[in-house]
Structures are given as structure tokens and as C-alpha cells.
Amino acid sequence: MWPFSRKSAPVPETKSELTDPTSDSWAALCDSFVVSASGVSINADSAMRCAPVNAAVSILSESTATLPCRLLRDDTDDGETAAKDHTAYQLVNGFSNEWASAADVRRRVTQDAILFGDGFAVVTRTAGRPGEILYAPRNVVVLEYQTDGEPRYSIDGKVYGPRDVIHLQVPNPNNLLQQRGLGLLHTGRDAIGLAILLERSSSNLFRNNSKPSGVLSVKGSLNATAAARMATAWRSAHSGDKAGSVAIIDNDGSYTPINFTSVDSQTVEQRAYAVSEISRLTRVPATLLSDMSRATWSNSVQLDLQFIKYGLQPWLRAWCDAYARTLLTPDERAKMHFEFDMAQLLLADTVARANAFAQYRSAGVMTANDVRRELNLPPLPDGNVLASPHVQAPANDNKPPKENAA
């Protein structure tokens, strides 16, 4: 039984949407069985077994999950302080419920949204305050829209409003009410099918490889039994662990080796094109999918920045909005907001991080204790002075010149 309520309400007997071919559930069900243009049937399992798709989805969902999300309170002096006393702070940073961390919930919901177009999580409340965030699989959620566009979510026989459900959705321009989002399994079906087909073709090309490889011919005619016996003997002598052995042919037999065709020799280029298609669909640079064919020192850094701005940040923005809608009251939203700490993406680049801190200190933006806090170091007694470390004395410490001695 799905644990959204400790005591489940009775499920009313209703007519299934699957009996109505015009319903959105029917369209989603049929869509999951439609094959791609390459003839390969695409679903979540086959897509995630495709290496570039798995890498792109994992990078987006894991980056969203691992980045710290802070609940900040706006101060009167235009500053911000962490609202650690709020119940939502633990739900988005620690554990969202007794068995799943906030990172695990974000990872699952984001992965569903990327693949299927919709990801769900339910917020339970205690005394009117958020108590838990529970991941909701897509197959247990029935989404309906009111005439004014407000969504309603039916889960385990209970109807929830938008304030109780975290819903990440990829916009669907073909549906005004957005009954379902357009995920990667729909928009990228043909590209994923091509990548899988190329991978299968490469496997078939090199499977049971025998050397020498070519056409074995003999003079005269062979019946089916003799031809099959000759082929079996050839594979036994020159395939598997015996590949590359010397071929010995008698009875006026001849062997003509066959080289790869131009299509076969371009398998690598074709698979690289398939990776670039997945990169376009997910906005994850090909360099992050381990395609280094066009990578240089300079463009790799720029591609990483483009991934943060155009690939990752929209998902982080969607999570901030969903958290604010479900975990904060309207009055609290005017004073507090959620924000992901993007500085964690620079943890691996210690040189860039050190240079950034040095410039902030020199410009008088951060104190020494601010920097030490980012590095998880204890504060210093005199570390809260907002002054440049390169200036030894205050700028206005000008002493009058000594009078010349008589």
C-alpha cells in the first residue's frame, strides 16, 4: 500500500481512463509502445541501457540532487541569512522522510521528469506544517486540470492540490492544458532508437569475428549438406579463440578476403553523431558524455558553463519554485526563498576557486571568515573585518608630517 497516508481512504469505484481512447492516460500508454523510426521500441529500460542517454540523464539528475539547497531569509539590510529554524530547511537539505534523503527524492523526481516529462513528490503535513516529502511514481498519479488550469492530483484514492504536490513538468506545446509533459522518451525517441540500433549493429559486426574473413569458394557445385559441413569446419578452425590462424585449403579451393565497406568503416562517426543528438536533446555537452572528438582546453570550460546555464539551471529553478509553492505559505514567500549553491560545481577546480576567493577578498566583498566558512574551516577571532588582505594599514591613517628641526 502506498504510504502517502498512514490510513488510506477508500478508493471510489470509477471508470478507468484506459477505456476512453481520447484520454491522456491512453495516449501515454500507447506512446510507450510506439517504436522509433529505426524500428527499435523505446521505453525507460531500453533508453537507460543506451550509454549516452544514461550519462545525460544521470548527470542532470545527480547534479540536481547533490547541490545544496538553502532556504534563505531576506534581511532588512538587503542581506540574506539561512533560515535553519524553519521546518522546510531539513526537508530540502537532510532527510525528506524517514527512509529517503532530500537528494534521493530530487534525483528520482528529476529523472522521471527528464524521461517521461513529469515527476511527482507529495508533501505531507503535521499541524499545518510540512512534515515529509514522499517520492510518487508516475503510475500512481492521475493528473487532471480544472477549467481554470489548476491541476488536481489523485493518489491512492486521495485528491491533492498544487500546494501539496511537487510537480516538475516539461512543457507540452501541443496540449494547452499540459495533461502530460514531453519527456525525452517522446521527443528523443528516434535519436535514442538510432543510437541503440548503431550499438547493436556494431555488436553484430564484431560478434563471432573470424580471421581470415571473406568468401570461401571451390570448383564445382556443392549440395546443401556439403556446404553446411564446410562452413562449420571453417568456423571451428578460424573463429573464437582460434581467430587469426593460418587457413589451409585443398581441392582447388580459394579464399577471397573481404574488407570493411565504407559504411562499416564509418561506424565510429555514426555513433558520434548519435551522441551529439542526445546532447542536443538534453542540453548536456558532448564532452560530458565522454565524446572528446572536438574538445579543446578552452571550449571544454565554456561548454561546462553552458551546461550550468542552459542545461542544469532550468531544473534548479523549477525545484526552487516547487519547494516555495509547497513548503512555504504566501506570507513566507514574501520574506524567504530557496536557492541552490552553485559554488559546489567549482569544488574540483581548486585554482579557479582560490582565485575567486582572492578577488572577493581584495574587492571587499567577503571577509576571511566568509571564505573559511565556504572551506569548512573554523572562524578566526579577527576574521570578520571587511578589508583587503593586501592593505596593511587603513587608507585614512594619514599622519601629519613631522616639522623640520630648527
pLDDT for residue 144: 86
CA angle 26, 28, 30 (to 5 degrees): 70
- Please tell me the least confidently modeled range out of 65-74, 160-169, 395-404: 395-404
Laid out side by side, the sheet with 129-136 consists of 129-136, 118-126, 165-169
pLDDT for residue 77: 66
pLDDT, tens digit, 9 for 90 and up, residues 240-272:
666 656 666 666 667 666 565 555 556 667 777
Angle formed by the axes of helices 51-66 and 313-327, to 10°? 50
- pLDDT (mean) for 310-328: 92
- pLDDT (mean) for 202-213: 60
Q: Which residue reads 594599514 in cell numbers?
A: 393
N- to C-terminal Cα separation, the chain:
100
pLDDT for residue 13: 43
CA distance 297 to 303: 10
pLDDT class of 382 with cuts at 50, 70, 90:
confident
pLDDT, tens digit, 9 for 90 and up, residues 189-199:
888 888 888 88
pTM comes to: 0.70
72 within 8 A of 339, measured Cβ to Cβ:
yes
CA distance 99 to 192: 34
- pLDDT (mean) for 329-338: 90
pLDDT for residue 20: 45
pLDDT for residue 27: 47
291 within 8 A of 56, measured Cβ to Cβ:
no
- pLDDT (mean) for 162-184: 81
Residue 225: is its pLDDT beyond 90? no
CA distance 267 to 26: 38
List all residues 6 or more positions away from 369 whose beta carbon is below 8 Å from its beta carbon: 379, 380, 383, 384
pLDDT class of 16 with cuts at 50, 70, 90:
very low
CA distance 130 to 156: 19
Q: Which residues pair with 344 in a beta bridge?
A: none
3-state helix/strand/coil string of the chain: CCCCCCCCCCCCCCCCHHHCCCCHHHHHHHHCCCECCCCCECCHHHHHCCHHHHHHHHHHHHHHHHCCEEEEEECCCCCEEECCCCHHHHHHHCECCCCCEHHHHHHHHHHHHHHHCEEEEEEEEECCEEEEEEEECHHHEEEEECCCCCEEEEECCEEECCCCEEEEECCCCCCCCCCCCCCHHHHCHHHHHHHHHHHHHHHHHHCCCECCCEEEECCCCCCHHHHHHHHHHHHHHHEHHHCCCCCCCCCCCEEEECCCCHHHHCHHHHHHHHHHHHHHHHCCCHHHHCCCCCCCHHHHHHHHHHHHHHHHHHHHHHHHHHHHHHHCCHHHHCCEEEEECHHHHHCCCHHHHHHHHHHHHHCCCCCHHHHHHHCCCCCCCCCCCCCCCCCCCCCCCCCCCCCCCC
pLDDT for residue 303: 78
211 vs 181 pLDDT, higher one: 181
- 99 vs 55, 103, 120, 164, 367, CA distance in Å? 26, 12, 17, 20, 39
**pLDDT, the chain, mean:** 77
CA distance 53 to 289: 9
